[in-house]
């Protein structure tokens, strides 16, 4: 079976994707610096799979993608062990959007330079299949219409700019290498929730800024009140609308993306990964309270700088070319996310 390198594989999206890939039989080489995660997520993944068979299918190396010598040794060893790395899913990166505004250089250095190191070593070992974690934050959209892959790209934060830069680097690699690479940029909308076991989930090591982890902490009492940023947006209930996607649907999109690349000719493709369904902040909060039978005290406060009224994917492209469609609804996202938080209030 193919051996896939997962950078950032102990993080939130990485750990759920590792689980989905193992279920499909892939061998995994995981690397992570653990700057924003714990390698305990791998033990939990194994616990969910409950089978010693999987022990031999995962190897973990703690290290940084900016360390080319470290990457080189991993690729070389995989060849020596007759388990050559044939594809990469590249999650490793810093992702705190507001932090990137204050520390742009840290984001450029970690995300972009780190990606360049990875792509160089991939090329050296003739590993030319990659799925990259991009983001809906690259789009400029002030409208109330779903976003297409061809919509205007104009990120307003250094975080989003690093994602565009990495996509551009990959496009350059594709065009200048006799079109021999297979590259899929997956542009995620808003992943939330957790695996249904409640054993793995989002584990922000610093104070969370995103809505869903904050809602979970209000539900367990560790944050006393949710602040909803504005109630006079041009939406049905005045609160902003987002395209929330269950983390396991997102994980499965990576498996489908990889399958697609392996089965098809070399190409460079951008895909929105969302459900195409918009949910307002108020709708999400009400659904969370209803499904989990709990209280989320909230108050309206000022709008957050840089926020947008409506960010929803047009997902026709991904659902037409990949063997994938999102299967889990907002109720399940709220139920599974809360189950993880309730069972693991302090993370792993």
* Binding site residues, ligand UD1, CB under 6 A: 95, 97, 135-137, 160, 190, 209-211, 214, 227-229, 240, 242, 281, 304, 306-307, 311
- Residue 12 beta carbon to ligand NAD: minimum distance, rounded to whole angstroms: 4
Among 174, 188, 233, 288, binds ligand NAD (CB under 6 A): 188
Written in H, E and C, the secondary structure of 64-97 is CCCCHHHHHHHHHHHHHCCCCEEEEEECCCCCCH
Q: Is 114 in the site for ligand NAD (CB under 6 A)?
A: yes
CB closer to ligand UD1 out of 120 and 237: 237
Q: What are phi and psi of 147, to 5 degrees?
A: -95, 130
Residue in 67, 28, 26, 22 with CA at minimum distance from that of residue 45: 22
- Residue 287 and residue 338 in contact, taking contact as beta carbons nearer than 8 Å: no
**Roughly how many angstroms between the first and final C-alpha of the chain, as a whole number?**
30
CA 219 centroid distance within chain: 24
Instruction: Give the nearest distance from C-beta 278 to ligand UD1 in angstroms.
Output: 11
Assess contact for 91 and 6: CB atoms under 8 A.
yes
Q: Please identify, using beta-carbon distances, which residue of 28 and 97 lies nearer to ligand UD1.
A: 97
Rounded to a whole number of angstroms, the minimum distance from the CB of residue 277 to ligand UD1 is 14
Residue 10 found at the interface with ligand NAD (CB under 6 A): yes
In the list ligand UD1, ligand NAD, none, the entry touching 14 (Cβ below 5 to 8 angstroms by class) is ligand NAD
Among residues 12, 107, 159, 244, which one is catalytic? 159
- CB nearer to ligand UD1: give 221 or 306: 306
Q: Is 159 labeled as catalytic in the residue annotation?
A: yes
Chain length of the chain: 348
CA distance to 55, 196, 203, per residue, from 38 (Å) = 18, 20, 8
Query: CA dihedral defined by 331, 337, 338, 341, rounded to 10 degrees?
Result: 180
In the complex with ligand NAD, which residue's Cβ is closer, 12 or 233? 12
Question: Which of 3, 27, 29, 37 touches ligand NAD by CB under 6 A?
Answer: 37
Per rule CB under 6 A, is residue 65 in the interface with ligand NAD? yes
Q: What secondary structure does DSSP assign to 157-181, as a single string?
A: SHHHHHHHHHHHHHHHHHHTTTT--
Which of ligand UD1, ligand NAD, none does residue 339 bind to, with CB < 5 to 8 Å depending on kind? none
Going by DSSP bridges, is the β-strand pair 182-188/267-273 parallel, antiparallel, or unpaired?
parallel
User: Residue 155, interface with ligand NAD (CB under 6 A)?
Assistant: no
Does 285 contact ligand NAD by CB under 6 A? no
Nearest approach in angstroms of CB 230 to ligand NAD is: 20
Contact between 133 and ligand NAD by CB under 6 A: the answer reads yes
Alpha-carbon span 20 to 17, nearest angstrom: 5
- Minimum distance from residue 258 beta carbon to ligand NAD (Å): 16
Choose which of 42, 71, 94, 253 interacts with ligand NAD (CB under 6 A): 94
35: partner contacted, choices ligand NAD, ligand UD1, none (Cβ within 5-8 A by kind): ligand NAD
Cα separations in angstroms, 341 against 13, 42, 308, 318: 16, 18, 27, 30
CA-to-CA separations, 273 to 35, 181, 316, in angstroms, rounded: 25, 21, 10
Catalytic residues: 159
Which residues of the chain form contacts with ligand NAD (CB under 6 A)?
A: 7-8, 10-14, 32-37, 64-66, 91-95, 110, 114, 133, 135, 188, 191
């Amino acid at each position: 079976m193919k051996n896939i390198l997962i950078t950032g594989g102990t993080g939130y999206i990485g750990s759920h994707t590792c689980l989905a890939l193992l279920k499909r039989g892939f061998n995994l080489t995981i690397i992570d610096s653990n700057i924003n995660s714990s390698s305990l997520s791998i033990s939990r993944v194994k616990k969910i799979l409950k089978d010693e068979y999987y022990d031999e299918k995962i190897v973990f190396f703690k290290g940084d993608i900016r360390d080319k010598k470290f990457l080189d040794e991993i690729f070389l060893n995989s060849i020596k062990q007759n388990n050559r790395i044939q594809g990469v899913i590249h999650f490793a990166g810093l992702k705190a959007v507001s932090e990137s505004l204050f520390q742009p250089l840290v984001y450029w250095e970690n995300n972009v330079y780190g990606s360049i190191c990875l792509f160089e070593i991939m090329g050296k070992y003739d590993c030319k299949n990659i799925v990259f974690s991009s983001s809906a934050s690259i789009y400029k959209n002030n409208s109330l219409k779903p976003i297409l892959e061809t919509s205007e790209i104009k990120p307003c934060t250094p975080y989003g700019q690093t994602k565009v830069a990495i996509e551009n680097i990959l496009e350059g690699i594709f065009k200048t290498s006799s079109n021999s690479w297979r590259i899929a940029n997956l542009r995620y909308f808003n992943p939330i929730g957790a695996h249904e076991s409640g054993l793995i989930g989002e584990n922000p090591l610093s104070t969370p800024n995103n809505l869903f982890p904050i809602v979970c902490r209000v539900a367990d009492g560790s944050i006393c009140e949710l602040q909803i940023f504005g109630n006079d947006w041009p939406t049905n209930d005045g609160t902003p609308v987002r395209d929330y996607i269950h983390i396991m649907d997102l994980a499965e999109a990576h498996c489908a993306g990889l399958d697609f690349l392996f089965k098809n000719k070399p190409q460079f493709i951008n895909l929105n990964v969302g459900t195409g369904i918009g949910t307002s902040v108020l709708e999400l909060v009400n659904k969370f309270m209803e499904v989990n039978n709990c209280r989320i005290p909230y108050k309206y406060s000022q709008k957050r700088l840089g926020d947008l009224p409506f960010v929803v994917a047009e997902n026709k492209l991904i659902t037409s070319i990949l063997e994938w469609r999102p299967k889990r609804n907002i109720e399940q996202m709220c139920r599974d996310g809360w189950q993880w938080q309730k069972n693991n209030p302090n993370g792993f």
